[in-house]
Amino acid sequence: MGFYKLLMDSSSENDIVCHYENDYGIQQYDLKMGKKIDGWNDNFEFYYDVTEGEQATDYLANDMGWLVVSDRLKTMMEELNIKAEFFSVSIREKTTNTKLNDYYVTNII
């Protein structure tokens, strides 16, 4: 069994950091238990403030501590046969409401 260590690069001050306003009953640690999620709510959204950072990366920092990945990183994980669930998530800039496309909350199982 192979293990991969994924580290957050925090050296750039311009990277997007996501925040949530409503957890829709999804607990922070639900996606850290290694078990499938039955109650994902498609209404869950993250927000970011462009004045705090505007660079979208393949792995977005967030206040839930979840693995939020781009479509590119999702594809790589799938090609490596990593057992995971991917939940499409809406990410919006809080002032302009501009949406980042093709991001996923990832649940490693």
Q: Delimit the domains of the chain by residue range.
A: 17-108
Report the pLDDT value the prediction gives residue 27, as an integer from 0 to 100: 87
- Please tell me the predicted confidence (pLDDT) of residue 33: 87
Q: For residue range 32-83, list pLDDT tens digits in order.
A: 888 999 889 999 999 999 999 999 999 999 999 999 999 999 999 999 999 9
What is this structure's pTM?
A: 0.90
Per-residue pLDDT of 42-54, as tens digits, reads: 999 999 999 999 9
Q: How many Cα atoms within 13 Å fall on the side-chain side of residue 29?
A: 1
Nearest alpha-carbon partner for 66 in 22, 8, 1, 24: 8
On the CB side of 85, CA atoms within 13 Å amount to 16
